[in-house]
């Protein structure tokens, strides 16, 4: 914005250049805002993933280390007894 201030000091002849600087600055801010919004979306997805993981009792057991051996697990979560 130092460039902008210098243009202001030069007077009305620089109005077009000042407008162009402000437009360029607005574009940069819009790009940064879009990047931040994308990052927020990515974080929201990761938070949802970990929340779902924690809410699943089988996954939670795996996290806490008290999950039974694979052969002891129900078929919907792994191999049934006798399956290899």
pLDDT score, position 20: 97
Establish if 79 belongs to a structural domain.
no
| Total domains present in the chain | 1
pLDDT in tens, 32-77: 999 999 999 999 999 999 898 888 877 777 667 665 555 555 555 5
- Does residue 29 fall inside a structural domain? yes
For the CA atoms of 45, 50, 55, 57, the dihedral, rounded to the nearest 10 degrees, stands at 140
Q: Considering the entire predicted model, what is its pTM?
A: 0.58
Alpha carbon distance 67, 73 (integer Å): 9
pLDDT by residue (tens digit) across 4-31?
999 999 999 999 999 999 999 999 999 9
* In a domain? residue 77: no
Domain that holds residue 50: 2-66
């Amino acid at each position: 914005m130092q460039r902008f201030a210098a243009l202001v000091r030069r007077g009305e002849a620089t109005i077009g250049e000042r407008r162009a600087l402000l437009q360029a600055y607005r574009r940069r801010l819009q790009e940064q805002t879009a990047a931040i919004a994308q990052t927020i979306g990515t974080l929201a997805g990761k938070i949802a993933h970990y929340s779902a993981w924690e809410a699943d009792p089988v996954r939670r057991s795996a996290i806490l280390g008290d999950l039974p051996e694979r052969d002891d697990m129900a078929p919907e979560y792994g191999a049934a007894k006798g399956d290899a």
